[in-house]
Amino acid sequence: MSIVLLRVDERLIHGQVVVGWGEYTHMEQIAVVDDEISASPWEQELYCLGVPANVNAVFATVEEAKQAVPGWRDDPLRVTVLLRDCQSLERLAADGTLEGLEVNLGGIHSAPGRERVLPYLFLSEADRTSLQRVAEAGVTVTARDLPASKPVPLSHLIAGCQ
């Protein structure tokens, strides 16, 4: 299995992922899974500026990623999969595509309707429902901004909102 990191982070490719997690996972490929960005070359160009020279970045829609995940799981390359919202994750995880994997919630920020759960994590009712479904699809959901922090399990994240 070579999905070394599966992460929900609104910022997608940024310092914490490239430097913080990159030095820990030694990733060789970043796969950004997002319908909107997959259709937008100018945004892709900007997102790619911070990718280190030895890392390759690809963009996929959720549907394309569903097809690609089995390949990534067996890929000799060490792949980091990034999404920017819980709803895309829920769609990707449906039908057990991500079964047995661990997903890391690394940064969902304040927005109307979202409540603060952790300093770097704000969740809405819809986000929590999506995450429950992701967990039901066989994925371990935890929040963790950097490799050095302690992972916070989903039960705490949901309880923290009450």
Partner 1 sequence: MTDFPAGTSWRVMLRSLFIQGSWNYETLIGTGFAFSLLPVLRYLHADDDPALREALARHAEIFNSHPYLANVAVGAVARLEAERVDPLVIVRFKSALRGSLGSLGDQLVWSAWRPAAALLGILLLLVGAVWWVAVGAFLLVYNALNCGLRVWGWRIGTTAGMNVGRAIREAPFQSLTLRATEIGSLLAGACVAFATPAAVNDPWAAGVNGAAVALGIWLGLRTRRAMAFALGVVVVIGIVNGLSK
Total residue length of the chain: 162
For residues 34 and 148, what is the distance between their CA atoms, to the nearest angstrom? 27
Nearer to partner 1, 14 or 73 (CB): 14
Q: How far does CA 117 lie from the centroid of its chain? A: 17
Nearer to partner 1, 82 or 139 (CB): 82
State in angstroms the smallest separation of the CB of 90 from partner 1.
21
Nearer to partner 1, 93 or 123 (CB): 123
Could you give the C-alpha distances from 95 to 5, 68, 110, 136, 138, in angstroms and in order? Answer: 20, 14, 30, 10, 10
Surface-to-core class of residue 94, CB atoms within 10 Å of its CB (0-12 exposed, 13-18 middle, 19+ buried): middle
Distance between start and end Cα atoms, the chain: 36
Nearer to partner 1, 17 or 93 (CB): 17
State in angstroms the smallest separation of the CB of 140 from partner 1.
25
State in angstroms the smallest separation of the CB of 36 from partner 1.
8
State in angstroms the smallest separation of the CB of 35 from partner 1.
13
Six-digit token pair at 20? 């913080």
Residues near partner 1 (CB under 8 A) are 10-15, 17-19, 37, 40, 42-43, 45-53, 109-110, 116, 119-120
State in angstroms the smallest separation of the CB of 59 from partner 1.
12
Q: Which amino acid is at 99?
A: E
Nearer to partner 1, 71 or 119 (CB): 119
